[in-house]
Amino acid sequence: MVPPAIATYYEPFVGGGALLFELAARRRFQRAVISDANRELILCYQAVRDRLDEIVEALDGYRYNEVVYYETRALDPETLSPGERAARLIYLNRVGFNGLYRVNSAGLFNVPFGRHPPTIAIYDADRLRAASAALQNVEILCRDFEATIGAATVDDFVYFDPPYVPLSRTSNFRAYAQGGFDHAEQERLAAALRRLGARGVRAALSNSDCATTRALYRGLPRPERISVRRAINSVTSARGPVGELLVRSFEF
């Protein structure tokens, strides 16, 4: 669904940025605008783009150790420099349980220590350098998705990868950032996708494949069901393929 040439690539729920970095590696866009509700993640991306040496220096001081992990988790990120703050997040995400990012009601990171091989690498310098290079022509924002895509034109491409509609009560994960993304937000997002189509802006969206999403996106062209492997589940045997729905703003 991704056009071969893109003036500006927009991703308002960037998360781990898998598509962003793939398209950057293939030089598919001239510039990009990304955003996310997770402020800590956005500050980390900005630091990787602008303060890579400071991040690497801070990461070199970390090691795989449970005491160090909980001491680092207890640090107030507001007291750290931008590079130290990004290094803290990278370390916690790398060493914490299952690569999970989760915060409590106060917005504090609360993922427990993960059990990894003692020789686990805290970071990959080559990947960090590649990420920093890819982010050089990227505007990085912590902003609502509608504000992020407001300037999108027919020469651009927008990809929405929002918090998914939960398939069950236990899959309703809301601890990624303070606030939430309820059904009203899902409806607002579906309306934004339709408005992009009315303006001739190419856009694609992924979400759970369920009755709720089928109703939300009814009338949009050719919803496509795909199977995606998920690596996080409290039951190991349940970590496997799940159905997702891909829709687009119009036929392009």
In this model, does residue 26 exceed pLDDT 90? yes
Bin 8: left if φ > 0, else alpha if -120 < ψ < 50, else beta.
beta
- Token readout for 142 is 């912590």
Domains of the chain: which residue ranges?
A: 6-38+142-248, 42-133
Nearest Cα neighbor of 10 from 225, 228, 230, 199 is: 199
Q: What is the mean pLDDT of residues 62-84?
A: 97
pLDDT of residue 240: 62
Are 197 and 203 spatial neighbours (Cβ–Cβ below 8 Å)?
Answer: yes
Question: What band does 241 get if pLDDT is binned at 50, 70 and 90?
Answer: confident
pLDDT over 90, % of the chain: 83
Q: In this predicted model, what pLDDT tens digit does every residue of 28-61 receive, in sequence order?
A: 999 999 999 999 999 999 999 999 999 999 999 9
pLDDT of residue 232: 57
Q: In this predicted model, what pLDDT tens digit does every residue of 109-147 receive, in sequence order?
A: 999 999 999 999 999 999 999 999 999 999 999 999 999
Q: Tell me the pLDDT of the chain averaged across its residues.
A: 92
Question: What band does 198 get if pLDDT is binned at 50, 70 and 90?
Answer: very high
Q: Which CATH superfamily is domain 6-38+142-248 in?
A: Vaccinia Virus protein VP39 (3.40.50.150)
End-to-end CA distance of the chain: 8
Q: Which CATH superfamily is domain 42-133 in?
A: Adenine-specific Methyltransferase, Domain 2 (1.10.1020.10)
Q: In this predicted model, what pLDDT tens digit does every residue of 152-185 receive, in sequence order?
A: 999 999 999 999 998 765 554 445 555 678 999 9
- HEC profile of 5-70: CEEEEEECCCCCCHHHHHHHHCCCEEEEEEECCCHHHHHHHHHHHHCHHHHHHHHCCCCCCHHHHH
pLDDT over 70, % of the chain: 91
Verdict on whether the full-model pTM lies above 0.85: yes
Question: What band does 231 get if pLDDT is binned at 50, 70 and 90?
Answer: low
Q: In terms of DSSP bridges, do strands 6-11 and 157-160 run parallel, antiparallel, or are they unpaired?
A: parallel
pLDDT of residue 189: 97
Question: What band does 236 get if pLDDT is binned at 50, 70 and 90?
Answer: low
